[in-house]
């Protein structure tokens, strides 16, 4: 059902943009209808076909096709927004009848310009966002502990070795005492990430590296993904907790979005937080759901990712219907929740007004 909804939406977006583009005088006068339809069909196929080819070892074709298809995801979304905005203003062309076709053309031009900006922003290195959090139960001797969170790297064909090496250097420069990887390190193919293991092993912190799985680890094969995390030296928290040092516990769950998609109702937050020792608790969940439950069970800080804060504006307004905690810092009961915008990108290497980020948190003891 999920796949049918995605493909249906993808198809309708293409039909809508082609239909509206054909009404633009510059298109109808200079571009044959068959060429416009053929281009739309090719671009419709590009991204899903590239993933199929990638899984079957056709690297030489899959990689350039994925880049084109992924970029088109972002361009098509912005084209839909541009044309739809004109349709709203002109009441679908019933108002401003003589101007509406040309205005749709300008909407497409605006979408093309924003696509270029988004591509440039998406290729920039992640910014560092600093927070200071008073963590209930943190021992005074741990005051000032630095925790660094990275999330949603989406390593694979589009984000590879050189990008990962630069990321490791930027994380090392933050001098973390503790490092967490909050899911979706793998995009969709574990084999594509395996060669990056030597680089991933360089992600280190004195108190350890802890990870939870995201929905893309589930899609790539959860057991293979977890093995790769463990080979990299990360402690994977799968519906369980671990005491990092006396008085500080990390708890984590396998991804909640994937659980919902596969109809798994097994109370993972309760499992992860049950029976832990006294002290401060940091709760890791790739998807920023069940924050109120985590706060109720005594977590003092929740770290999540998944949403990319919409990645390409204004997509975030749609995402927020499903994920109210979108990006940045929130207070949920007595708990602080921080949602990372994503350190990498999913799909298009594009971001619009939503930069990739590395999250650096200085933990404070209330008793200090």
Residues 50 and 138 in one domain: no
Edge-first strand order for the sheet with 209-212 is 127-134, 357-364, 145-150, 178-182, 209-212, 235-236
Range of the domain at 296: 127-364
Q: pLDDT tens digits for 340-355? A: 999 999 999 999 999 9
Residues 246 and 338 in one domain: yes
Q: pLDDT band at 263, cuts 50/70/90?
A: confident
Residues 270 and 355 in one domain: yes
- Write the CATH number for 291: 3.60.21.10
Q: pLDDT band at 368, cuts 50/70/90?
A: low
Q: State how many domains the chain has.
A: 2
What is the model's pTM? 0.95
Residues 227 and 333 in one domain: yes
Average confidence (pLDDT) over 145-164: 96
Average confidence (pLDDT) over 286-307: 98
Cα 353 to Cα 216: distance, rounded to the nearest angstrom: 24
Q: pLDDT band at 5, cuts 50/70/90?
A: confident
* SS3 (DSSP) at 94: coil
Pairing between β-strand 335-339 and β-strand 145-150 as defined by DSSP bridges: unpaired
CB-based contact 234:211 (threshold 8 Å): yes
Locate all alpha helices (DSSP H) within the chain, ordered by sequence: 2-22, 25-30, 33-55, 59-89, 100-122, 161-173, 190-193, 197-200, 215-231, 256-261, 268-273, 291-296, 316-319
Whether the per-residue pLDDT at 262 is higher than 70: the answer is yes
Residues 342 and 222 in one domain: yes
From 70, 92, 122, the end of a domain falls on 122
From 87, 122, 157, the end of a domain falls on 122
Q: pLDDT band at 334, cuts 50/70/90?
A: very high
Average confidence (pLDDT) over 125-141: 97
Output the CA torsion sign for 159, 164, 170, 172: positive
Residues 28 and 134 in one domain: no
pLDDT score, position 27: 86
Average confidence (pLDDT) over 168-189: 97
* SS3 (DSSP) at 129: strand
Cα 167 to Cα 150: distance, rounded to the nearest angstrom: 10
Residues 139 and 67 in one domain: no
Whole-Å CA distances, 140 to 182, 245, 247, 334, 367:
26, 13, 10, 19, 6
Pairing between β-strand 328-332 and β-strand 335-339 as defined by DSSP bridges: antiparallel
Whether residue 314 is preceded by a cis peptide bond, meaning omega within 30 degrees of 0, is yes
Q: pLDDT tens digits for 56-67? A: 888 889 889 999
Cα 191 to Cα 228: distance, rounded to the nearest angstrom: 10
Distance of CA 235 to the CA centre of its chain: 21
Residues 268 and 148 in one domain: yes
Whether the per-residue pLDDT at 121 is higher than 90: the answer is yes
pLDDT score, position 122: 96
Residues 169 and 302 in one domain: yes
Pairing between β-strand 209-212 and β-strand 178-182 as defined by DSSP bridges: parallel
pLDDT score, position 60: 85
> How many CB atoms neighbour CB 196 within 10 A?
22
pLDDT score, position 28: 86
Residues 71 and 84 in one domain: yes
Residues 196 and 312 in one domain: yes
Cα 212 to Cα 255: distance, rounded to the nearest angstrom: 8
Q: pLDDT tens digits for 222-236? A: 999 999 999 999 999
Residues 183 and 308 in one domain: yes
Q: pLDDT band at 106, cuts 50/70/90?
A: very high
Give the percent of the chain with pLDDT over 90: 89
pLDDT score, position 367: 74
> Tokens 């770290």 — which residue?
303
Name the average pLDDT for the chain: 95
Distance of CA 79 to the CA centre of its chain: 22
pLDDT score, position 231: 98
From 122, 142, 169, the end of a domain falls on 122
């Amino acid at each position: 059902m999920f796949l049918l909804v995605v493909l249906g939406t993808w198809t309708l977006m293409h039909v809508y943009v082609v239909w509206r583009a054909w009404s633009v005088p510059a298109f109808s006068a200079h571009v044959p209808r068959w060429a416009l339809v053929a281009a739309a069909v090719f671009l419709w196929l590009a991204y899903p076909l590239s993933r199929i080819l990638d899984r079957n070892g056709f690297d030489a074709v899959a990689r350039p096709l994925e880049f084109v298809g992924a970029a088109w995801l972002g361009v098509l979304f912005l084209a839909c927004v541009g044309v739809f905005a004109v349709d709203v203003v002109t009441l679908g062309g019933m108002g401003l009848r003589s101007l509406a076709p040309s205005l749709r053309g300008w909407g497409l031009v605006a979408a093309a310009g924003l696509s270029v900006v988004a591509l440039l922003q998406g290729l920039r290195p992640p910014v560092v966002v600093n927070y200071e959090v008073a963590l209930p139960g943190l021992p005074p001797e741990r005051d000032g502990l630095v925790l660094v969170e990275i999330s949603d790297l989406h390593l694979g064909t589009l984000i590879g070795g050189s990008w990962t090496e630069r990321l490791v250097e930027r994380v090392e420069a933050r001098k973390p005492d503790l490092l967490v990887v909050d899911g979706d390190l793998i995009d969709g193919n574990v084999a594509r990430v395996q060669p990056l293991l030597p680089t991933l092993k360089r992600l280190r912190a004195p108190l350890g590296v802890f990870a939870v799985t995201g929905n893309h680890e589930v899609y790539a094969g959860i057991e293979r993904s977890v093995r790769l995390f463990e080979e990299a030296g990360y402690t994977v928290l799968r519906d369980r907790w671990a005491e990092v040092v006396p008085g500080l516990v990390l708890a984590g769950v396998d991804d909640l979005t994937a659980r919902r998609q596969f109809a798994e109702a097994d109370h993972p937050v309760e499992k992860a937080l049950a029976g832990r020792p006294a002290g401060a608790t940091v709760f890791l969940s790739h998807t920023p759901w069940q924050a109120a439950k985590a706060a109720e069970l005594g977590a003092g800080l929740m770290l999540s990712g998944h949403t990319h804060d919409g990645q390409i504006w204004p997509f975030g307004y749609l995402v927020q219907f499903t994920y109210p905690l979108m990006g940045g810092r929130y207070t949920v009961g007595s708990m602080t929740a921080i949602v990372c915008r994503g350190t990498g990108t999913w799909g298009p290497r594009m971001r619009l007004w939503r930069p990739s980020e590395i999250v650096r948190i200085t933990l404070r003891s209330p008793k200090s």
